[in-house]
């Protein structure tokens, strides 16, 4: 009997205590490692450079244009009385600058900056979603390992129970049906243990998509609270100001407005200035070198354009109306999701507290059964049964803890505070 309880104590200590050489990581460390290993994060980070290039291009659209050109040739001319040859040469330098283009360049630069800002918000949303997937995978792995340890302990107890019942059956103290019931229960736990082992293996493979090695701990990392001691209203307000998907949608409305201004510039006047210098050489006797300087200002005013610009503006207005409604829907969904998560977390906290209080009752019941066994008032099977029920209770508590942690990190993701 003593050696059985020693096995039980050893397994429980493995569950409760973390060995010093156990490899574990914090949530912050997990996100850093995920960022370093995620190909999609790396690809999107490199893609952000494109938008900086687009800003530079937009700023250069209104730079002066400088052109240098020239020619050199040879001519021969013959009449009835004379012959002459020419070696004409020419060089031209011109500088042109747009002074006003209907605000096209101005709004193109603003639009390029907004597109870059939107890309950064989308990148942040991508990162937080990938981090959340990695965190959930890590938490699920820990939960599975805890379930495995507790199920394995129950299986040890059931094996001893089965051995004892088999002895009773051999002595004709119990019926075949009673023995088959014990065998069936043992088979069920054995099957569950194998199923959990497969799930652990699958989960470890999933973890390797986010990091180079799999932590071997079965203890949850330190809780990353991010100072969430805020009212629901304050959390929603924070989310509206920091959720990267919301910020991206808000920026997109500005981009559409700027696109409309760019299209509208086609119907506004254009003012250009051009300066030039030209030098011509001709080696004939009657001509030498001639220089020419010029400066020209021009203005073009559209008097009639096709309906193309108006149609484009109308389409952009429709896009603005549509995306404004999409944004409002996003905001309403986000508010609902935050409130639901807060309710879920509150319920899980209450449930965990209730189960934790119930845990003490199970522990006392085991102690009572042990004392009763010492004085012959209960059997070791009664102790096994109480211990198995206690293990099932611990598995349920581990499940609630897993749900609590995942709901918490999902809330951080929704308000845009997972990485802040």
Q: In this predicted model, what pLDDT tens digit does every residue of 392-403 receive, in sequence order?
A: 999 999 999 999
CB burial of 199-230 (b: ≥16 within 10 Å; e: otherwise) equals bbeebbebbeebbeebbebbebbeebeeebee
Residue 236 has pLDDT above 80, yes or no: yes
Residue 377 has pLDDT above 90, yes or no: no
Confidence of residue 89 (pLDDT cuts 50, 70, 90): confident
User: How many CB atoms are located within 10 Å of the residue 194 CB?
Assistant: 11
Confidence of residue 217 (pLDDT cuts 50, 70, 90): confident
Dihedral, 75, 76, 77, 83 alpha carbons, nearest 10: 140
Which residue, 115, 113, 123, 121, is CA-closest to 56? 113
Q: In this predicted model, what pLDDT tens digit does every residue of 328-347 receive, in sequence order?
A: 999 999 999 999 999 999 99
d(CA 110, CA 235): 31
Helices 308-374/244-264 angle, 10° precision: 180
Question: What confidence score (pLDDT) does residue 22 get?
Answer: 55
Q: In this predicted model, what pLDDT tens digit does every residue of 151-186 receive, in sequence order?
A: 999 999 999 999 988 988 888 888 899 999 999 999
The encoded tokens of residue 347 equal 């319920």
Q: What is the pTM of this model?
A: 0.83
d(CA 41, CA 214): 20
Question: What confidence score (pLDDT) does residue 18 get?
Answer: 45
- Whether the CB-CB separation of 384 and 160 falls below 8 Å is answered with yes
Question: What confidence score (pLDDT) does residue 276 get?
Answer: 92
Residue 72 has pLDDT above 90, yes or no: no
Q: What are phi and psi of 100, to 5 degrees?
A: -155, 125
In the three-class reduction of DSSP (H, G, I as helix; E, B as strand; rest coil), residue 181 is classed as: helix
Instruction: Report the residue count for the chain.
Output: 420
Q: What share of the chain is helix, strand, coil (3-state, %, to 5)?
A: 70, 10, 20
**Mean pLDDT of all residues in the chain?**
88
- Whether the CB-CB separation of 145 and 218 falls below 8 Å is answered with yes
Q: Which is the CATH superfamily of the domain at 2-62+102-267+306-415?
A: Outer membrane efflux proteins (OEP) (1.20.1600.10)
Q: Which of 19-23, 167-171, 201-205 has the lowest mean pLDDT?
A: 19-23
């Amino acid at each position: 009997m003593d050696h059985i309880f020693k096995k039980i104590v050893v397994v429980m200590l493995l569950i409760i205590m973390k060995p010093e050489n156990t490899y574990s990581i914090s949530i912050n460390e997990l996100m850093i490692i995920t960022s370093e290993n995620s190909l999609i994060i790396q690809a999107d980070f490199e893609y952000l450079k494109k938008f900086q290039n687009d800003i530079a291009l937009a700023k250069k659209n209104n730079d002066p244009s400088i052109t240098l050109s020239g020619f050199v040739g040879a001519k021969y001319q013959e009449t009835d009385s004379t012959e002459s040859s020419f070696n004409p040469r020419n060089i031209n330098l011109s500088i042109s600058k747009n002074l006003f283009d209907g605000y096209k360049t101005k709004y193109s630069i603003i639009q390029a900056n907004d597109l870059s800002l939107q890309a950064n918000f989308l990148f942040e949303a991508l990162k937080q979603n990938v981090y959340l997937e990695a965190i959930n995978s890590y938490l699920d792995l820990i939960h599975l390992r805890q379930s495995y340890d507790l199920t394995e302990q129950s299986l040890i107890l059931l094996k001893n129970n089965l051995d004892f019942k088999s002895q009773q059956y051999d002595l004709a103290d119990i019926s075949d049906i009673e023995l088959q019931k014990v065998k069936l229960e043992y088979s069920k736990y054995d099957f569950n243990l194998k199923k959990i082992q497969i799930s652990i293996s699958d989960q470890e493979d999933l973890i390797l998509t986010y990091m180079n090695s799999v932590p071997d701990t079965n203890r949850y990392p330190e809780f990353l609270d991010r100072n969430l001691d805020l009212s629901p209203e304050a959390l929603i307000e924070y989310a509206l100001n920091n959720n990267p998907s919301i910020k991206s949608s808000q920026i997109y409305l500005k981009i559409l407005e700027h696109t409309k201004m760019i299209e509208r510039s086609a119907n506004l006047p254009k003012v250009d200035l051009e300066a030039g210098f030209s030098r011509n050489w001709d080696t004939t006797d009657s001509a030498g070198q001639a220089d020419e300087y010029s400066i020209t200002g021009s203005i073009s005013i559209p008097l009639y354009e096709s309906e193309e610009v108006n149609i484009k503006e109308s389409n952009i207005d429709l896009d603005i109306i549509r995306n404004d409604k999409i944004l409002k829907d996003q905001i309403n969904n986000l508010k609902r999701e935050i409130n639901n998560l807060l309710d879920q977390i509150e319920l899980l906290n209450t449930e965990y507290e209730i189960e934790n209080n119930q845990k003490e009752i199970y522990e006392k019941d085991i102690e009572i059964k042990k004392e009763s066994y010492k004085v012959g008032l209960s059997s070791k099977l009664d102790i096994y049964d109480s211990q198995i029920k206690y293990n099932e209770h611990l598995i349920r508590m581990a499940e609630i803890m897993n749900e609590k942690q995942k709901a918490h990190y999902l809330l951080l993701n929704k308000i845009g505070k997972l990485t802040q």
